[in-house]
Structure 1
Amino acid sequence: MILRDARLFDGREEVATDGAIRFDPESGRIEAVGDADPQGDEPVISLSDHTILPGLVDAHVHFSLSGQATVEDVVGQSDAELTLTEVKNARTTLESGVTSVRAMGARDLDVVLKGAIDRGEIPGPRTLANCRSITITGGHGHHLGREVDGPTECRKAVREQVKRGAGFIKFMATGGVTTPGTDPETLAFTHEELEALIDEAHRRGVHVATHAHGAEGIKAAAAAGVDTVEHGTFMDEEAIDLLVTNDVTLVPTLSAPYRIARNTEQATEESSRKTGGVYERHIDSFKRAYEAGVTIAGGTDVGTPFNYHGTNSTEISFMVEHGMAPEEAITAMTASAADVVGLDVGVLEPGKFADLLVVEGNPLEDVSLLREPTAVLKGGEGVSGRLPNDPNGH
C-alpha cells in the first residue's frame, strides 16, 4: 500500500513536503519512504494536507493506574481487576496515537499484558514491560513494587524480575510525591545498593531506569551507570553534567506534576504539599538540561493523579512550551523514545514497523494537532480513525 501526497516527518526531520510511503500490509513493515511508484494494482491513497509521522512512543506509562487522586484507590484491587484496567488503558493509549510504550510495572502484570498484545489477543501498543519497581522497604511505590534492603537483596530482586520476563529494571532512587511518608529530594538507596542493582541488570542484558527527583539521587544513579533518569525534578549543575558526561537519557514526564498542580483541590493533602513549588523547579531543571545537551526522551508518567491515558501527546506540547522546537519535541517522543524503549519503531525507515500517525495539517507548526489524529496505524493496520479517500476503510 502507498500513502502519498503527504508531508513526511521521519522521527528526526522533515523528509518531504509532498512525499509517499509504502508499506507491506502482510509483514506490517515499511518498504519505501519519500517516493514510491505503484506496482500493479497496489492500493494508493492520497493524503494531501496531511502529515505522516511515526506512531508516538511513550517511555513512561502506568497501565495499572488510571489517574486516581491516590494510589491507595488502586492497591486494594485484585490482580484480576488490575488486569482489566490495564487492558482498557492499553487500548485507549493505542487509539490516541501512541503505538509503543515502556510500561513501568505493577504486580508482574505488565509482562502478561505484553504477551497478550504480542499474540494479537487484545489491542495495545508495542510494549517493553517491567514487572515490579524495586524500592527500599517503605519506599516510593512500595504498594505495588518489590521492597529490598541491602546489596544482596537488590541483586536477587533484579534476577527475579528478569526471570519473570522484565525487559528492563526500574528502581526508586528517591522518595516520591504520591507515596505518603517519602521525601522526593532524599536519596533512598545506599551507594552499594545502587551499584548492585545497576550492575546486576546490565549483567542480565537489560537497561535500567530510575525514578529520581532529588539531585543527590540523580547524581548517585548516574555515577553508578543508570541508563535513564525519570523526572529529574531538582537537578543541580553537577547532576546535569553527569547526565551529559555519562550519556544518561532524561525522561522528564512534565505532564505528571502539571496535572497535580492544576488539581490541588482534589489531590491528597500530602501530594498537594509536595507539589507546591515543584512544578516550577521541574520546568527549570528541564530547561537547563535541554540547554546543556542532555538527551531527552518523551514520557508522560500517565496513570498518575489526574494524568489520564489517551492524553499522552500533550507531553510534546509541554516540551515545546518550555523551550524545545516542535521537531525536537516530536523527535523526543518518536525516535529518541524508541531508542530508550529498544523496539524497532519510532522512525520512518524501510524495514521498520509501519506504525504511523496521520494528522491533518502540519504538527511542525502546531503540535496540538497530534491530539486529534486522523488515523493511527500499527503494523500497517488501522487501529483508530480512518484514512481519507480510502475505499477499503483502513
Structure 2
Amino acid sequence: MVFGVRGTTLPDREARSFVVEDGRLREGHCAELLADGGWILPGLVDMHTHPGSDGPSDPFDDGKLRRHLEQHRDAGVLLVRVPGSTVRIPDWAPSDPALPRIHSAGRWLAPPGCFYPGYGREITEDELADAAVEEAKAAGGWCKIIGDWEPGEASVPLEVLTAAVAAVHDIGARVAVHCQTAEGGRNAVLAGADSIEHGMHFDLALLDRMAAQGTALVPTFTTFADIAARAREGEPSPLRDWLLAGWAGLPGVVRAAHEAGVTVLAGTDCAPYGNIATEVGWLVRAGLPPEVAVGAASWTAREWLGEPGLADGAPADFVVYAEDPTVSPAVLADPQHIVLGGQVVR
C-alpha cells in the first residue's frame, strides 16, 4: 500500500509531505493522500506501562497483553517501554507488526519483602548485579530495579545499586529504578541509573547531577492520582500521610527537574491502556510548557530511547491531529489518523 500525507510536522513546525511505502517514510509527494493538512507527530510513546496484567493480584496473561497493546495502538501510542513485568515479555509481542514497538526490562528485581508478593523476581543484595545483567540481556536492553518501597523499609544500599548499574552499563544496557522515598531517589541518582520511575519525595539538590549524567524522570502522575484519591478516602495513618505528601510535592519535583535540564518523560503506569493524553495533561498542570509535555510522549521520548521520529527512511509510525497538540494538549486523545509500520490503523 502506497499513500501520502502532508501537513505541519512537530517538533520542527515545517510544512512537509511524505510518501509511505514498504512501511517507511520518504520525503515526497503522492496523489493518494491519507491526510492533507493537520499536525503530524511521531507515534506517541508511553514510557512506563505494564501490559499483560490488570494489577498486582492479577496473573500475567498473553491475551491481556495483546489486548492492552492494541488499546495503546488504537490511541496512537505506537511505542511502549515496559519497565518490569511478572514475566519476560514473550517473543511474539515485539515481533508482531500490528502491535506497538516494545522496549522491555524483563522481570522486576526486588529485595525480599519490598514489592508486591509474587509480583517480581526476589533477589538478595549479593545476587542483584548478576540478576540485573541477566534480565537486561533477556529483555534486549533494559532492567528494572525496585530501589525502595514504603517508608521505614530499607532501600537498596548505594554500593549494591552502584555495582548493579555498572554491570548493566558494561553490557551496553540501561537501568530503570523505582524510587518513591528520598533515600531511594538519592541512591538511584548517585548510582548512575538511567531513569527514575515515580520520584516522589525526591531531593531537589540532586537535580543538577541528574541532568548532567542524563538520568531521566518518569513521574507517572496518572497512577499516583488514583492512589492519592484512594488514600484521601482512607483512615488516617503514617502511610496515608506519606503518600499524600509525596503526591502534593510531585508537581514541584517535576517542574524543578525540567528547569534544571532533566529530561522528563511521560508514562502512565496503570490502566486504562492508551491513556497517555491524561499523563501529558498532568505534566502541563505540573508546570511543563505544553510543547515539552507533548514531546515527553512523542519525539523527546523517541530520541531518548534511540528511536527515529519523522525522518526520511524511518519506519512509518505517526499520528495526525486536526489541531496543534502543543496548543491544545487534550487533542492527543483524539487522533485523526494513526499509522503503524505503514499500515493505517485509523
Output the CA distance in 1 between the equivalents of 2:229 and 2:250: 15
Match of 2:46, as an amino acid?
D
Q: Residues 108-145 of structure 1, C-alpha deviation per residue, up to 9 Å, x if partnerless?
A: 242x0xx2234337x42100112111111111245321
8 Å contact from structure 1 (residues 133, 141) kept in 2 = no
Indicate conservation of the 8 Å contact 2:185/2:203, yes or no.
no
Contact 1:135/1:142 (CA < 8 Å) preserved in 2?
no
Change in CA separation of 1:223 and 1:97 when aligned onto 2, cut-off 3 Å = same
Equivalences for residues 214-253 of structure 1 within 5 A: 214-253=181-220
Query: What RMSD, in angstroms, separates the aligned Cα atoms of the two structures?
Result: 2.4
Give 1:225 deviation, angstroms.
1.4
8 A contact 2:186–2:203 mirrored in 1: no
Offset at residue 186 of structure 1 (A): 5.6
Whether 2:111 is the aligned partner of 1:146: answer no
Q: 1:46 to 1:374 in 2, by over 3 A?
A: closer
Equivalent residue for 1:293, pick from 254, 261, 282: 261
SS in 2 for 1:7: strand
Paired residue for 1:171? Answer: 145
Could you say which residue in structure 1 is the equivalent of 2:45?
57
Task: Give the deviation of 1:164 after TM superposition.
Answer: 3.0
Q: Does residue 377 of structure 1 match 2:339?
A: yes
Structure 2 unmatched runs, 5+:
none
Question: What is the deviation of 1:105?
Answer: 2.6
> Which residue in the other structure is 2:247 paired with?
279
CA contact (8 A) 2:158 2:190 kept: no
AA paired with 2:44? L
Q: Quick one: structure 1 residues 269 and 31, their matched pair in 2 at CA, closer, same or farther if it must change by over 3 Å?
A: farther
- The answer to whether the Cα contact below 8 Å between 1:90 and 1:124 also exists between their aligned partners in 2 is yes
Q: CA deviation at 1:245?
A: 2.7
Match of 1:86 in 2: 65
User: Which residue does the alignment assign to 2:29?
Assistant: 37
Give the drift of 1:380.
1.6
Asked if 1:2 corresponds to 2:1, the answer is no
Query: Which one of the candidate residues 18, 21, 24 is aligned to 2:18?
Result: 21
Change (3 A) 1:272 1:197: same
- Whichever residue aligns with residue 63 of structure 2, its letter is L
Aligned to 2:134: 160
* Residue type of the alignment partner of 1:207: R
> Counterparts in 2 of 1:98-117, with a 5 A limit?
98-110=77-89, 112=90, 115-117=91-93
For the 8 Å contact 1:146–1:157, the answer to whether it is kept is no
State the Cα distance separating 1:272 from its structure 2 match.
Answer: 5.4
- Asked if 1:330 corresponds to 2:294, the answer is yes
Determine helix, strand or coil for the equivalent of 1:85: helix
Q: SS of the counterpart of 1:143?
A: coil
1:70-125 C-alpha deviation (Å, 9 max, x unpaired): x2x32xx3x5xx22221211111111110001112323242x0xx2234337x421
1:357 counterpart = 2:325: no
Aligned-pair identity (%) = 26
- The 1-side partners of 2:24 and 2:323 are apart by 25
Check whether the contact 1:186–1:214 (CA below 8 A) recurs between aligned residues.
no
In the alignment, is the contact (CA less than 8 A) between 1:174 and 1:212 conserved in 2? yes
The one-letter code of the counterpart of 2:118 is: H
